């Protein structure tokens, strides 16, 4: 990787967004906690200091070591970063008289500043702070103000050090990406070479060297990450990649056969394993949500283990882990403690398997995984698929699971999802699905009284599944889908639409 930017994180909710914006400029970057920076900084061509929930005046304020950075490399401080540079290099930060949250407009943009090239007065920026820079640091020149914040941007003379109080990474800062581009490309002189094609070429070459003639096993889930990971590995080692696609009996209607065919069409060395009966037997009588999850996870490991044993001499386990799963995060509630989220797509394998792990997507954000997939020619339908949970319909059938209930929910889900596709709504929704509720209610069909099941439809918009809001689907659409479900799915006489946001509700009902 030729280009490389370091983002030092102080715990801001926006740090990952900075990284995504930098990557969108085709510049590679990594996020590191301010208190655990890389030892060798020589490969970094620029450094960005993130925002933070802390005040620089607080006792527990994060203090980075900038001795090898400030004045030595192009440096950009954002929000907390800007305040830190002011407070510690001869300026002053104090409580602001007016707290600025949300939209603001620039009232001053100093002319002739390469950093603000293409940014105009009145340009909208996004603020989120209660402290303000009362006095600029030594050698600083003010380059931007808003109506309420005089020192909204400054530069330190004789250095490539820049600082802005607003957040360029947030879409509401309309020229934010331009500012990042000015800083990274025009000022730091970084080449924009981090492209999906370049990633594929380097990754495949590296995988070839790393894996040689070794065999790799990979569990495909039908989702974007495992599919893109498999495609990269396949390009590198061909038939030595052994993919396993397990039917846990809780997939969507026809999903096992359709997706398996798709994988075979892509030339992958894939084995479809229909373990539906084994999963349903193990789940028999279990109605507790956590209990069901545990059973599904355990049976998956057992099935995967049995299948892996059939691949002789396998040395590696391929996984579709992506960058947000491995970023070391700074705790937002303070303290220098860094926690690392570890991620096992296959739910943790038995130690005795002793496989080494290979994770070709570990450096990518989800949107980059899709772009890499597209550059390798994967079908847009596959890359645009909604997320689907590992335990599948098992956590959408409330209460105990039977084959009859699975079939019923598969039909309902099929009508809903197909309906979204036909109405051109599928790509506008982040995730959608149906839940089979453990209640019967009274209805009337023809002259008959019915006493049948109720299903809930859920469609949400989200960016990462951490927070979500329900989608305002057109009434006409809901009306048609509801009619279709009640007319076509035997055993269902009532359809409701879930209008809860996350938080406090979750996306899945179990």
| 227 binding ligand XMP? (CB under 6 A) | no
318 has which bridge partners? 218, 358
**Number of residues in contact with ligand XMP, rule: CB under 6 A?**
11
CB 16 within 8 A of CB 312: no
Which range binds ligand XMP by CB under 6 A, 113-121, 301-309, 333-341, 388-396? 388-396
What distance in Å separates the CA atoms of residue 75 and residue 211, rounded to the nearest whole number? 38
Tokens representing 418 are 């197909």
Q: Is 295 helix (H, G, I), strand (E, B) or coil?
A: helix
Residue of 74, 360, 389, 419 interacting with ligand XMP (CB under 6 A) = 389
Catalytic residue among 169, 307, 368, 510: 169
Residue of 272, 387, 443, 491 interacting with ligand XMP (CB under 6 A) = 387
Q: Provide the 10 A C-beta neighbour count for residue 40.
A: 8
| 255 binding ligand XMP? (CB under 6 A) | no
What distance in Å separates the CA atoms of residue 114 and residue 110, rounded to the nearest whole number? 10
| 508 binding ligand XMP? (CB under 6 A) | yes
Tokens representing 272 are 């479809």
Residue of 391, 406, 413, 415 interacting with ligand XMP (CB under 6 A) = 391
Helices 276-283 and 289-309: crossing angle in degrees, nearest 10, is: 150
Residue ranges with strand state E in 394-509: 431-445, 448-461, 469-470, 492-497
CB 452 within 8 A of CB 445: no
| 392 binding ligand XMP? (CB under 6 A) | no
Residue of 465, 477, 478, 484 interacting with ligand XMP (CB under 6 A) = 465
Q: Is 298 helix (H, G, I), strand (E, B) or coil?
A: helix
| 222 binding ligand XMP? (CB under 6 A) | no
Nearer to ligand XMP, 71 or 289 (CB): 289
CB 372 within 8 A of CB 196: yes
Residue of 222, 390, 394, 419 interacting with ligand XMP (CB under 6 A) = 390
Nearer to ligand XMP, 210 or 343 (CB): 343
Measured from the CB of residue 426, what is the shortest distance to ligand XMP in angstroms?
Answer: 15
Which range binds ligand XMP by CB under 6 A, 358-366, 398-406, 489-497, 499-507? 499-507
x/- site string to ligand XMP, residues 421 to 450, per CB under 6 A? ----------x-------------------
Measured from the CB of residue 333, what is the shortest distance to ligand XMP in angstroms?
Answer: 21
Tokens representing 261 are 């065919």
What distance in Å separates the CA atoms of residue 300 and residue 390, rounded to the nearest whole number? 10
List residues binding ligand XMP (CB under 6 A).
Answer: 293, 387, 389-391, 431, 465, 502, 506-508
């Amino acid at each position: 990787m030729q280009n490389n930017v370091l983002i030092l994180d102080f715990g801001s909710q926006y740090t990952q967004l900075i990284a995504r914006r930098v990557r969108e400029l085709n510049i590679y970057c990594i996020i590191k906690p301010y208190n655990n920076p890389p030892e060798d900084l020589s490969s970094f061509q620029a450094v960005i200091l993130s925002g933070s929930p802390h005040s620089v005046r607080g006792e527990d304020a994060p203090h980075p070591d900038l001795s090898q950075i400030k004045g030595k490399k192009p440096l950009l401080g954002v929000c907390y970063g800007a305040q830190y540079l002011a407070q510690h290099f001869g300026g002053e930060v104090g409580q602001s008289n007016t707290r600025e949250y949300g939209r603001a407009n620039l009232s001053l943009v100093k002319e002739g500043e390469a950093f603000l090239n293409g940014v105009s007065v009145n340009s909208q920026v996004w603020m989120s702070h209660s402290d303000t820079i009362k006095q600029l640091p030594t050698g600083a020149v003010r380059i931007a103000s808003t109506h309420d914040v005089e020192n909204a941007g400054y530069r330190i003379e004789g250095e490539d050090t820049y600082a802005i109080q607003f957040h360029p990474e947030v879409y509401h800062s309309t020229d934010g990406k331009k500012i990042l581009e000015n800083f990274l490309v025009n000022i730091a002189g970084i080449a924009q070479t981090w492209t999906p094609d370049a990633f594929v070429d380097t990754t495949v070459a590296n995988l070839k060297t790393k894996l040689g003639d070794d065999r790799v096993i990979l569990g495909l889930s039908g989702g974007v990450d495992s599919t893109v990971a498999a495609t990269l590995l396949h390009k590198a080692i061909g038939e030595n990649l052994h993919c396993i696609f397990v039917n846990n009996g809780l997939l969507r209607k026809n999903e096992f056969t359709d997706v398996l065919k798709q994988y075979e069409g892509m030339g992958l060395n894939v084995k479809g394993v229909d373990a539906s009966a084994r999963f349903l037997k193990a789940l028999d009588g279990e109605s507790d949500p956590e209990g069901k999850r545990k059973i599904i996870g355990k049976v998956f490991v057992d099935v995967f283990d049995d299948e892996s044993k059939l691949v002789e001499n396998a040395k590696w386990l391929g996984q579709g882990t992506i960058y947000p799963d491995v970023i070391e995060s700074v705790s937002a509630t303070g303290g220098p403690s860094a926690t690392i989220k570890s991620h096992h797509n296959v739910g943790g394998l038995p130690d005795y398997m002793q496989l080494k792990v290979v994770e070709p997507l570990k450096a990518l954000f989800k949107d980059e995984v899709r772009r890499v997939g597209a550059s390798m020619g994967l079908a847009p339908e596959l890359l645009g698929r909604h997320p689907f949970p590992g335990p599948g319909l098992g956590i959408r059938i409330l209460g105990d699971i039977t084959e009859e209930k699975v079939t019923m929910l598969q039909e309902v889900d099929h009508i809903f999802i197909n309906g979204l596709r036909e109405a051109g709504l599928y790509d506008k929704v982040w995730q959608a699905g149906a839940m089979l509720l453990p209640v019967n209610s009274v209805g009337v069909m023809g002259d008959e009284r019915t006493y049948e099941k109720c299903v809930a439809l859920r469609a949400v918009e989200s960016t990462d599944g951490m927070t979500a809001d329900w989608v305002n689907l057109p009434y006409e659409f809901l009306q048609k889908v509801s009619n279709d479900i009640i007319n076509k799915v035997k055993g269902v006489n009532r359809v409701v639409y879930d209008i809860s946001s996350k938080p406090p509700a979750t996306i899945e009902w179990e």
